[in-house]
Structure 1
Amino acid sequence: MQKQARNVGGQELHFSICVFKLETLPNFIDEEISIKWREQKLAYLLIVDFKDYVFITRKNISGIDKLLYEGITLIDYAILNTLFVDSGTFFEKFSLNNTSVAQDSIRGKTIEAIDLKKSFSPYGAGKYVLSSVRVSNYEEKTSIAFNTSRITKFGEKKYLDALLVWAHEVIEKIRNHIHGNSFLDVFATPIEYEAHRDTLIPISFLFNLRKFHEDVETGRLLNCELRLSGVSIRQIPLQRILAALQKVFDVETIAIGTDTAYKLKSSFADDIELALNKKSITIHSHKASNLILTFDNGKNTPLTSYFNYYNEFIINFEDLSLVYTNRKLFKDSKLISYIDNFIEAFNGRAELNSVTSEKGTFTTASTSFTINSIFNFVENRIIHDADYSILDDLGNEWADHIKLKGTTLTFIHSKYGDSQFSASSFHEVVGQALKNIGNMTPSTEQLDTKAVHWANTLNIGGTNTAITRLRRGTNLTDGIAVYKKLLLNPNLKREIILTVNFISRGQLRDRLNKLKAGTPFSEKNQVIQILWLLSSLINSCQENGIGVHIICKP
């Protein structure tokens, strides 16, 4: 692989290219059979030195990223997101990563259109980080992956000379780039982490498990072992790891002398800490580092090293406009401006001031929920005027109550909490709502299966009560028929109602106004998490044409 010189566009550049053949054991074979039972591939690596920039292209080469890109700085997002954009640009494809810490929210999505500038709603876009984009400029299509600075031009195959000319043109474009406004500014924008590092106070942490899931599904990640000195190796199921890491972890700030530590409140490993390094944030845990992941290429990696390498996590801070993910600090400058809109989703009801439980107490003779319970409030104040209403609580539930009235289908999710501004309780009820958005358009087969379950009375904690599942309407058979007919109605209106007692509309408005003004208050961390969760819920519901209402204390 010898360096060669070439003159391109009047500039002398140097490049090195290596082409070679690979022979590998097919991934569906566990052991050697014969030298003939091998796959053959051709690979190449091309590195071009433009003095202040490096152009790298490769095929069928992996596992050398750390070596290949060490000391190289990726092209700044602010340059890439306007590099191929002008007034005539068509945005054809967005790949988006969600910055929400709601564990049941959509973690990522890809959307396409002839021109997304005309069909994509910018509301709530500030919660998404743009991972990649494909644009069309006068029939020339280009895709950009922001996290890796990968630029791809669509078209016929180019050989070395033409490839070098194209690389030279792109680098000249980068060198002479003048930043301007772009439609892509509606998404969360990256800001300089180093400039804000000393003021960052983490409050919540979520592992982004998409890469982990992908490695498990493709067979790249084989297993996990717990390795302790002097103790025999123990296999830990990968599904157990996934289940333990899929929740949102609160971050506790701990003073250690003059230093500050940020520790995750986790039962998975009680020594996980965040390190706010000079260039990035990483996790450290002596206990979790004893969990060793094994990959199909024979490589072993501690669990913490795996997540640090890919930086696959999302962190929220006391500054509610900031979020950290994919080795970058992002700012959603529009979140605060939406506060007044968010409060309109809340409806204060005085009856919830006297609520003392979620369902109350029961006997086998019980036919209704205890007075002063949230479920009793729902049945007497929300579903009282329904044509049909079904209790779907417990089991594989879609909602606590399902209400059918006219052309409206309503899923009602209820949650009781002991403390005001309980972010964990709000996270639970929002998660339930997000998880069941897809069940608002069930198939006929799903409804028929549910009908069998709804024919039973409610069993609570082993007590088989006399509380029927059909709470309003003539009979269950007619109710299912109305349900099926409603789903086919072109004027169907869908809505979600959250009923909670641990939030007061007036107090929440006061705390949100204090957030806007920068005034300190004791529940700041909880209110920030509630705001992020609410933003995620409203955004997901708007994307699916669903209305959102939150009934709480006045």
Structure 2
Amino acid sequence: MAPIATLRIGATRIALRGLDLPLIADISVERRSQPLGEDVNAVPLSRYLDRENLFTILFSDLALAYIDGALFRDEALAGGGASLLAHLRADASLAQTTSEKGVFAVGQIEFAQGCVFRSVVDTIADGDDVLLCDDLGDEWADFIGVSTQSNPTMISFYHAKHGNQSLSASAFHESVGQAIKNLGRMSLPADMLPNKLMGWDNRYRNNGVQTDIARMIRGGTPQEISEKLDVVRAAPDVLQRVFIVTSSLSRAQVEGVLAAVVQGTAPSPHFVQLYWLLMSYFSACVEMGVRGYVVCRP
């Protein structure tokens, strides 16, 4: 296979040079404030990727990775990946799912059986006495859960995805990006809640179909939910958690690859990329004082 790019290793960063991909050769990044095609300062996509450090470099040494413009060392992958497995939770219902949200019909009062959304409602978020569907629009997460009865109290964001079983990082890029983007909203900012509460008081609508699915799935009346959110938001020891819920990943399959690594079998580059993507997600959560998890099929 012919090389498609060259790298330049400097004192403080690795630069991406000579990215030769015909599919992106004519693509440029422009400012949204300008009409399409009229930004005189448009930047070729290849140069933008380099400038913003939007690339990952993997090495023959599994402990090393260059991500977002910084070099990282993590011996855990070669040692069995215990730190990754600690963040993976298995839910049996995800092995039976066939879609993310299911199909919709007028008058429908629940998400359909066999979709990831239904798994979140029935089993994954079953410990939350307040559960809100925030899908679509100004979405913070597909679901927001609040546990007022636990000690400490908890706020949980759930990002749901469905896909064929895979160990590829490509299935996670969107959900990881969405989860990281909304970490700052996990405190449930008071100035944003009134508009959110108005939206949650509506019934769920998708693909032009108006259902009778309540967005306030659990927790009481709008006033009761508002009061519970205020109490939890103000708690000094509230625990914030974010979950990527996916049917595309199997914990057993991940365990199998990690066990093989310990025995000396090199993992595929796709798996190494997945490992580093998920570890960067968990690290971003830690930096914000949030606990990050992935819920997957067994």
Same fold (TM over 0.5): yes
The reply on whether 1:548 has 2:292 as its aligned counterpart is yes
The reply on whether 1:530 has 2:261 as its aligned counterpart is no
Q: Secondary structure of the equivalent of 1:444?
A: coil
Q: Secondary structure of the equivalent of 2:191?
A: helix
Q: Deviations over 1:277-324 (max 9, x none)?
A: 79875124477479699xxxxx99974795699695533226343334
Instruction: Kindly report the root-mean-square deviation, in angstroms, between the aligned alpha carbons of the 2 structures.
Output: 3.2
Quick check: which has more Rg, 1 or 2? 1
Of the three residues 3, 12, 18, the one matched with 1:283 is 18
Query: Which position in structure 2 is the counterpart of 1:455?
Result: 201
Q: Deviations over 1:84-140 (max 9, x none)?
A: xxxxxxxxxxxxxxxxxxxxxxxxxxxxxxxxxxxxxxxxxxxxxxxxxxxxxxxxx
The reply on whether 1:352 has 2:94 as its aligned counterpart is yes
Q: For 1:59-458, list aligned pairs within 5 A.
A: 255=1, 260-261=2-3, 273-276=4-7, 281-285=16-20, 288=25, 303=44, 312-317=53-58, 319=60, 320-324=62-66, 330=71, 332-336=73-77, 337=79, 339-406=81-148, 407-458=153-204
Q: Secondary structure of the equivalent of 1:445?
A: coil
Which 5+ residue runs of structure 2 have no aligned equivalent? 31-39
Q: Secondary structure of the equivalent of 1:548?
A: strand
Q: Deviations over 1:471-518 (max 9, x none)?
A: 012212210121012111112111112211111111101112334544
TM-score by length of 1: 0.45
| Inter-CA distance 311–548: structure 2 relative to 1 (3 Å threshold) | closer
Given that residues 414 and 498 in structure 1 are in contact (C-alpha distance below 8 angstroms), is that contact kept between their aligned partners in structure 2? Answer: yes
Given that residues 314 and 323 in structure 1 are in contact (C-alpha distance below 8 angstroms), is that contact kept between their aligned partners in structure 2? Answer: no
Tell me the number of residue pairs that the alignment of Structure 1 and Structure 2 aligns: 277
Given that residues 322 and 329 in structure 1 are in contact (C-alpha distance below 8 angstroms), is that contact kept between their aligned partners in structure 2? Answer: no
| Inter-CA distance 482–518: structure 2 relative to 1 (3 Å threshold) | same
The reply on whether 1:505 has 2:251 as its aligned counterpart is yes
Given that residues 399 and 411 in structure 1 are in contact (C-alpha distance below 8 angstroms), is that contact kept between their aligned partners in structure 2? Answer: yes
CA distance in 2, matches of 1:381, 1:305: 44
CA distance in 2, matches of 1:306, 1:394: 32
Q: For 1:458-469, list aligned pairs within 5 A.
A: 458-469=204-215
Q: Secondary structure of the equivalent of 1:471?
A: strand
| Inter-CA distance 520–473: structure 2 relative to 1 (3 Å threshold) | same
Given that residues 80 and 258 in structure 2 are in contact (C-alpha distance below 8 angstroms), is that contact kept between their aligned partners in structure 1? Answer: no
| Inter-CA distance 325–386: structure 2 relative to 1 (3 Å threshold) | closer
Which 5+ residue runs of structure 1 have no aligned equivalent? 1-254, 262-272, 294-298
How far did 1:355 drift?
Answer: 1.1
Q: Secondary structure of the equivalent of 2:192?
A: helix
| Inter-CA distance 399–278: structure 2 relative to 1 (3 Å threshold) | closer
TM-score by length of 2: 0.81
Query: Which position in structure 1 is the counterpart of 2:35?
Result: none
